[in-house]
Structure 1
């Protein structure tokens, strides 16, 4: 019984920490969206920029961790199973994206290189768009596509380790939530 209480409070604490981190990422995304206008350097993928990515990632982390925290705290089976399902879907999506990136690495590189050139030509032709020019100046100071690709290739191991760590955390979260879910079912508390 004390192990399950420890599991419950550990799950609450970890999800609370993730909730705070998700809220911080969400807040940074909103701050970046309102303080500066980010333009995408890739004309085909205009919605992809740092502010939007942080905003969406913050929302996902905050919502999922809130479900886990509240489900564990209230010992609510419905919230715990929802937490489990969302974590499982997130893990599958992350693994699918990682596999797609590995399988289509050369095609993605060619697409980005072509789209960057198109974006640069568009920026040159439309000098009115200062934010796009500023973004291109920043890219030229950190190097061009080849340097960015080389940096990514050098950090491929670190990226892989990061993905594995995230997946381990998600699997642990799923195990904890399912253990708590099964305990609540056996104790006959039912759905609250």
Structure 2
């Protein structure tokens, strides 16, 4: 392989790894944004281990670190860095495939657990004193205010103890105020489904870029090996 081909492969490796690194940083930023602005985590405890914000932050952080290793390996023409990059990236791709399978499985059972979690949170809200379980109360109020809904299936879920967050418009403290009639179950379920689709699309995009990085990494590593380069 002549030097022009090697330089072309190096530039492609640098470009793809830099693109992958940018995607990783964007994924981390988006995950942090979701974690800060979403107020629903205490209401859906079944999905907490694969909560979209957590998944995005962890995946994005690992991707940025691995891709930085690939950039260094290509720039320095170092075989140790390239083989380390190859192994780590291959493991990361396997993890991403496993994550995709998990998302697929959870997308099929999400309807089963979502209603259960919301009903449990609503009962905790009703049975708690004003000083207890403030996080669940605040999150439920935030959901009702943001999605303009009331209860799990409707206003009747509150059994006459409807919180102010269900109120449509002021004056909310009058006896005849109007509450939202639609329940929060469908709206919150659709919000989660949209986030899982976005997370899945991001994982697929990263997987394609990472696969291209692996393809360009192999001929570079072999070239440096045949020429006795890459260990300094």
| Normalised-by-shorter TM-score class | 0.7 to 0.9
Contact 1:38–1:51 at 8 Å: present in 2 too?
A: no
The runs of at least 4 consecutive aligned structure 1 residues that moved more than 6 Å come to 158-161
TM-score by length of 2: 0.62
Post-superposition offset of 1:104:
5.7
CA distance in 2: counterparts of 1:69 and 1:159, whole angstroms: 25
Name the counterpart of 1:182. 222
Looking at secondary structure, tell me which structure has more helix per residue. Answer: 1
Gaps of 5+ in 1: none
CA-CA distance at 1:70 after TM superposition = 0.7
Q: Per-residue deviation at 1:185?
A: 0.8
Cα gap change, 1:145/1:86 in structure 2, threshold over 3 Å: closer, same or farther? farther
When normalised by structure 1's length, the TM-score is: 0.73
* Alpha-carbon separation, structure 2, partners of 1:98 and 1:30: 21
CA contact (8 A) 1:37 1:131 kept: no
The worse-fitting range, judged by mean Cα deviation, of 132-141 and 63-72 is: 132-141
Q: Identify the match of residue 75 of structure 2 among 73, 78, 82.
A: 73
Aligned residues: 189
Q: Which stretches in structure 2 are left out of the alignment for 5+ residues?
A: 150-182
| Distance change in 2, residues 1:169/1:14 (3 Å) | closer
Query: Relative to 1, partners in 2 of residues 1:110 and 1:5: Cα closer, same or farther, differing over 3 Å?
Result: same
Q: Which residue of 1 aligns with 2:139?
A: 132
Higher Rg of the two aligned structures: 2
- Kindly indicate whether structure 1 or structure 2 has the higher relative contact order, using CA contacts under 8 Å at least 6 residues apart: 1
| SS of equivalent to 2:209 | helix
Alignment of 1:168 onto 2:216: no
